Each structure stands twice: as C-alpha cells, then as structure tokens.
Chains A and B, each alone.
Chain A
Amino acid sequence: MTDWIRWAAPVAVVASVASPGYGYAAQYLTVQEAQKLAFPTANRFVEANVIFKPADAEAIEKLSGQRVRTRGEQVWKAQNGDRLLGFFILDYVIGKHLVIDYAIALEPDGKIKQVEILQYREPYGGEIRNPDWLAQFVGKSSKDELEVNKDIINISGATLSSRHVTQGIKRVLAFYEICLKENACGR
C-alpha cells in the first residue's frame, strides 16, 4: 500500500484569466469557474463519472440519433451539503476539425439549466459563444427536438459548430435519460 503525504497548497494558485493569449485556442472558462457560474449555491461538486457498457452507448444512440464516440461521460453532482442541485456534464464535439469543450448544467429532473463553451480552438464559428445563442437551450430536455433550423437558430458562418454543439447537447440529454435519471449505467 503506497503511503501518500498531502502538503496543502503552499503553491500560489494563479486565477485563470479569460484571454486569448496564444493563437486561436482561447480558453474562456476553467471547469471550476463554469461549475460556480452554473450552480452558485453549490458548496460541493462530487465526481460521478460514468463509463458506458456497450448497451448504454447503444441506448443513448437510439434515443438521440447521435453516435456515441467516447467511453463515458465526465459528470459532477452539484450539491449543497447532501442536497442535489443538479448535474454538471463536461462534453465535447468537433467543430470542423478541432475540439470544442463545453459544459451542460442540468436540473435534477434533466432540464437544461445552462450551457457554457469552455474552449474554442478554430478560427471560425466562435459565434456560438454568444450568450443569446446558448440561452436557446435553457429549459430544453430530451423531449425537445433540438435541431438547428427547427427549434434552434442557426448562425450563418458558424453552421458546423451550431449543428455539432446542438447534436452534442441532444446526445447528453439522452445520456441523462438513460444513465443519470435511474443511475442505471456503467460497471
């Protein structure tokens, strides 16, 4: 058994500054910042990652109509003490070639509370960071259509990122239904 010794934070933690300091890969929010923004009254974020069994991935694909390409989802339960305030899910989609990191905050019943773009790497299509565009998703659940040019407005010049983020959100809502609602997934 390895003995670990903890040495509490003598290091100076430099607060992350949202500025595009290098090339196009601007990091707008850290995970901690996005969690606090989504759930301001939470005092704990408990890791509750889910690793898919093949049947889980198939069920999510069937419900959402979207391919599942990862082995699981990164989830935190937002809590105030022991009370569940909702779920914070870190997911990604591909824009044209490069990854878009984003996070979805869900109410305990699976309705979207907030969507935040954490990191956008491509030179075009970043208009999806517009809060008005992201606000379209608030209140949506897996019962909603979630399709660009239907219930979600497309952004001209950001067609691929709009479509792919919308599809990702649809897949994550299906993931909630299959895995989080009943806590029924994984090994």
Chain B
Amino acid sequence: MSFHSRDSDISRLNREASMRVVTVDPLTFRVLETARALFELSGGLFDVTVAPGLQRLGLLPVDEPAPLPSPAPEANFAAAELLPDCAIRFHHPAIKIDLGGIAKGFAVDRAVEVLRNRSITGGVVNAGGDLFAFGTEGHPTHIRNPFSPLRTLCRLDLTNEALASSGSYNPPSKLPMAPSAILDPTSQLPARRICAASVRAPSCILADALTKVVVLAGEGAGPLLKQFNASALFVFATGDVLVTSDWKEALPHAA
C-alpha cells in the first residue's frame, strides 16, 4: 500500500486506474472500502485522494519529470469506483491516492489479529504512536504536548482499545513547528486551526482515520466519534485543549 514503491497496489492504481480497471490485493481493497465508508460518513473530510495536494506541498515525492497536474476539486474519492473482486476504477485522470492516513492503523489491527490467533491473551502493538492494547490489563500511555516535545498532556490507561494521534508535533531539534500534513479538502492547504488530535477507538484503523477528521472538524467530529464508539482529544493552535467527557480523568488539572 506504499505510495513510495513503484510496484505497490497504490502506485499501480495511481498510474493506471483512470484508464482501466485495476485489481488489488484483498487487504488493500478492505482498506479502500473502509476509506470509502469514512469518506461518506465524514462528509468528504476523510479523503485519500489528497496525494496531489501533498505532492504540491512537497510532502510526498513526485515521480514523473512532468509538472504536476493542476488541482481539480472534482477529483475526489467520490470519483473512485469500487468494483466486485477487489477491482477499482478512477473516473477522473487527476486522481491519486495515498493511504498514509489509514494504512498504519490497519497494519496494527492485523498484527493484533495474528497475536490473538496464536492464543496470546494480552499485549500491545505500537506502530510509532498508532497502537492497540489488547487483554485485560490497562496499558499506560502518555500523549505528547505538541508545543513542548519533552512534556506530556495527559496519561491514559488503554484497555482493549486503539489509540492514534495525528498533527504537527514539534520535533525536539526543529523550530518552528512544521505545518500539519492533514489537508483541508476545500482549500487543499494544511489544517491550521487544530494542530494535533488523538483518538481512542475499538480498532486502530478507525482511530488512525478519525484523527484526520478531528483535526479538520474539531468539535464537529462529535457525532462521527459517537457513531464509532470513539473518543478524542485535540489541541487548538492557540493552545486550548478539547476532550470528550470520558477523558476527563486523564487530564491533570481538569475541573
């Protein structure tokens, strides 16, 4: 599912699916089906066709020597058709997809499935911050302060749930804060109002994808979170933090 590998399903789709039907691996197709459901349920906020926008911002590599195609608002995920037998067709020449906002969560869920199938009763799979803690024991996790990388915002005890985080976190060696790689579909520019979000959800693929919706919609993501039995914390660029009420205990000085 890598955008960077020439032989991956995603690269084949990006090169050929606007010209003909392309068949992909069943696992890739499952991720695309989830991406499709989230695209519809989030009113288009979660849209994996962000790849050209990310290329234009220098956040994804450009493969071809030719100039990038002009932005085309109608080249969104609604123009991607999912067909029987894991086949896909894009109905616009400018569509390019990147699964970077959802595939890591999916990989974590698959790894947990493998462990559970081997009768392992408890553990944690952590893919660089997108994680799933399964079993009866709570797994203590801290969420980093996006403005001050050596400090934490809160501590959670995760039990049989996933946690994912997205946004710009100030890496210790770099100032100023890098802009978020989460693009607002309307402006095609990085989200600026909310700089970081974390989501707890029953699966890591959902947690991963929902962080993007929370960064873009903020409080507006409430109904969607509730629909998926998920909850969230997010941080405004101004510094204020909003959490769903079930995170109250995790905050050190919450009233």
B-side contacts of A159, CB under 8 Å: none
Q: How far is the CA of A106 from the CA of B58 in the complex (A)?
A: 29
Please tell me if the beta carbons of A2 and B177 are within 8 angstroms of each other in the complex: no
| CB neighbors of B among A72-109 (8 A) | 72-74, 90, 92, 94, 96-99, 101
- Determine which of A10, A18, A22, A90 lies in contact with B178 in the assembled complex, contact meaning CB atoms within 8 Å: A22
How many B residues touch A, CB cutoff 8 Å? 51
Please tell me if the beta carbons of A14 and B148 are within 8 angstroms of each other in the complex: yes
- Determine which of B147, B178, B179, B187 lies in contact with A12 in the assembled complex, contact meaning CB atoms within 8 Å: B147
- Asked if A53 is at the interface (CB within 8 A of a chain B CB), the reply is no
A-side contacts of B239, CB under 8 Å: 8-9, 11-13
Please tell me if the beta carbons of B174 and A101 are within 8 angstroms of each other in the complex: no
- Determine which of A2, A5, A21, A101 lies in contact with B226 in the assembled complex, contact meaning CB atoms within 8 Å: A2
Q: Considering only CB atoms, which chain B residue lies closest to A52 in the complex?
A: B73
Chain B 25-42 interface 0/1 with A at a Cβ cutoff of 8 Å (1 = within):
000000000000000000
- Determine which of B176, B225, B245 lies in contact with A27 in the assembled complex, contact meaning CB atoms within 8 Å: B176
Give 14 pairs: A residue, B residue, CB < 8 Å, sorted on A. Answer: A2-B219, A5-B244, A6-B241, A7-B241, A11-B148, A11-B241, A16-B176, A19-B176, A21-B175, A22-B174, A22-B178, A70-B71, A71-B186, A121-B58
- Determine which of B68, B147, B179, B238 lies in contact with A119 in the assembled complex, contact meaning CB atoms within 8 Å: B179
Q: Of residues A13, A51, A73, which shows the largest number of chain B Cβ atoms within 10 Å of its Cβ?
A: A13
B-side contacts of A10, CB under 8 Å: 241, 252-253
Please tell me if the beta carbons of A17 and B176 are within 8 angstroms of each other in the complex: yes
Determine chain B's interface SS by DSSP, over half rule: loop
**Which residues of A come within 8 Å of B, CB atoms?**
1-14, 16-19, 21-25, 27, 30-32, 49, 51, 67, 69-74, 90, 92, 94, 96-99, 101, 119, 121
- Asked if B235 is at the interface (CB within 8 A of a chain A CB), the reply is yes
Chain B 175-189 interface 0/1 with A at a Cβ cutoff of 8 Å (1 = within):
111110000111111
Whether A25 touches B58, Cβ cut-off 8 Å, given contacts A4-B245, A90-B187, A101-B189, is yes
| CB neighbors of A among B58-92 (8 A) | 58, 62, 67-68, 70-73
Q: How far is the CA of A137 from the CA of B241 in the complex (A)?
A: 39
Please tell me if the beta carbons of B153 and A11 are within 8 angstroms of each other in the complex: yes
Please tell me if the beta carbons of B245 and A70 are within 8 angstroms of each other in the complex: no
Please tell me if the beta carbons of A14 and B175 are within 8 angstroms of each other in the complex: yes
Please tell me if the beta carbons of A98 and B57 are within 8 angstroms of each other in the complex: yes
Determine chain A's interface SS by DSSP, over half rule: loop
A-side contacts of B185, CB under 8 Å: 71
Please tell me if the beta carbons of B70 and A8 are within 8 angstroms of each other in the complex: no
Please tell me if the beta carbons of A5 and B245 are within 8 angstroms of each other in the complex: yes
A-side contacts of B58, CB under 8 Å: 23-25, 98, 121
Please tell me if the beta carbons of B222 and A70 are within 8 angstroms of each other in the complex: no
- Asked if B146 is at the interface (CB within 8 A of a chain A CB), the reply is yes
- B140 CB, nearest partner CB in chain A, Å: 20
Q: Considering only CB atoms, which chain B residue lies closest to A16 in the complex?
A: B176
Please tell me if the beta carbons of A4 and B242 are within 8 angstroms of each other in the complex: yes
